[in-house]
Amino acid sequence: MSHSYQLIWFRQDLRIHDHAALWHATQTGPSLALVILSPEQWQQHDDAPIKIEFYLRQLQQLKQQLDQLNIPLLIQIIPLWKDLPDFFADLLQQLEIENVYANIELGVNELKRDQTIQQQLNQQQKEFTLFHDRTLFPVASIRNQSNSPYQVFGAFKKTCYQRLQHGLPQCYPAPQRQQAIRLDFSLLQHTDIQQLQHDYRKQIEHIHFTEWQVGEQFAFSLLDQFIDEHLADYKTARDLPAVSGTSQLSAYLNIGIISIRQCLQALFRQQHGHFEIQSEGQQTWLDELLWREFYQHILFDFPQVSKHQPFQPQTQKINWRDDPIALEKWQQGQTGIPIVDAGMRQMLATGWMHNRVRMICAMFLSKNLLIDWRKGEQWFMQHLIDGDLAANNGGWQWCASTGTDAVPYFRVFNPITQSQKFDPDGQYIRQWVPELAQLDSKIIHEPYAKNQALILDYPKPMVDLKLSRLRAIEAFKSH
């Protein structure tokens, strides 16, 4: 007797707990799972090798979890998304798929891809059901009184708070184990990902793997540890790059090892799931989660940010400097500004950079060097394990004063002042700029300031911070 199956297409959501598409599919009938790997598409999107390697390791964990649920997982390499409609046409015929389920992805290319596949499935009288799973609230559901999307974070946050007062979004349970399904995947050229994983691992041999374990249970333990041990001090500690004061969950949220709903539920566990803010740390982390939410909604409502365009169109005319040598010094952490160099080197060495330092590095490139923020945005995406289009673009456009609710163009971080304030003892600088490790904490932030004759194996500042700040203000003022 032949069976028809439900198909769950996993994308940036490699988990079995609190997974909307997985839950709904398995409630409907016997289910199969699919993961499509698209190396050429990843390259076009500037996905970092460390992020892809992390994804592939988590994919192996997901396969083990699905095996325990008797859900067969088909893994296919389809280099480019334009080939997906033909692939689905063949797949649905061979496996007698009734419906396809997936969680929505919000980038312009992803939405177009899904629209094309929707048309293909409709021609075959099949359903393609998409769920809002990456955000707390469905995109297009948070609107102002004019029924327009918010462009200012404060107003967006206020509406989110009002929605949360009515109840926190609930998590989906993991599905029950289903009866075993026997399928002959040999007809479909099932992919062994070990060679692909080996190829990406070779690209990042210099990076410290031990910092990035995979698995839902590990992500849960990180979340619990953060709530129990670091939340109380989060408001202050999150800005100190030398201490472990942040949740370290961004990479896990990005590929969906853990969900945003799970984070919110954990945050209000002591209040038994009720929206009652009882500490500064709790409110500060909630606001950080909502900044993430805000940029996801911006990505959907203002598709130009997916197309390398500034949110504020008038800033398109800014006369950015074309200086490949200066750009490379910034990329390699050789600017002569210790806090900037520490951040850039941390990213190259680990695939991650502290958020406060990301802002300092981004503003130094876009303001003090007056180099197009898009070059920095691309470099970050190519190296960050948590590289997310919405958050990365939002952060860069905020720092460059081209984005929604961005910092005013005349507000330019002084990286030395930032360094003295948030890394007062120079501990972070010493870790990532060892040439300066022996310097006293009073001079480590600006080693040549009082002694130009000081001999160090470290470059002198590539720009004068005051003059470059004025240059940036003039460039923005004229547009």
Active site residue 396: yes
Contact 391, 398 (CB under 8 A): no
Q: Which of 9, 212, 330, 373 is catalytic?
A: 373
Could you state, in order of their start, the residue ranges of all structural domains in the chain? 313-477
Binding residues for FAD, by number, are 234, 246-250, 285, 288-295, 386-388
Active site residue 373: yes
Instruction: From 290, 291, 315, select the one nearest 397 (Cα to Cα).
Output: 315
pTM for the whole structure: 0.95
- Look at the block and give the residue holding tokens 């590539």: 462
Contact 395, 406 (CB under 8 A): no
Q: Which of 9, 81, 212, 291 is catalytic?
A: 291
Pseudo-torsion of CA 96, 75, 19, 230, nearest 10°? 180
Q: Which of 81, 352, 396, 398 is catalytic?
A: 396
Active site residue 288: yes
pLDDT tens over the chain, length 479 residues? 357 899 999 999 999 999 999 999 999 999 999 999 999 999 999 999 999 999 999 999 999 999 999 999 999 999 999 999 999 998 988 888 999 999 999 999 999 999 999 999 999 999 999 999 999 999 999 999 999 999 999 999 999 999 999 999 999 999 999 999 887 666 566 677 888 988 999 999 888 655 689 999 999 999 999 999 999 999 999 999 999 999 999 999 999 999 999 999 999 998 887 898 999 999 999 999 999 999 999 999 999 998 889 999 999 999 999 999 999 999 999 999 999 999 999 999 999 999 999 999 999 999 999 999 999 999 999 999 999 999 999 999 999 999 998 888 888 999 999 999 999 999 999 999 999 999 999 999 999 887 776 778 999 999 999 999 999 999 998 76
Q: How many CA atoms within 13 Å lie on the side-chain side of 419?
A: 24
Q: Which of 42, 70, 109, 355 is catalytic?
A: 355
Q: Cα separation of 454 and 440, whole Å?
A: 13
Homologous superfamily assigned to 313-477: DNA Cyclobutane Dipyrimidine Photolyase, subunit A, domain 3 (1.10.579.10)
Phi-psi region of 80 (alpha: psi -120 to 50; beta: other; left: phi over 0): beta
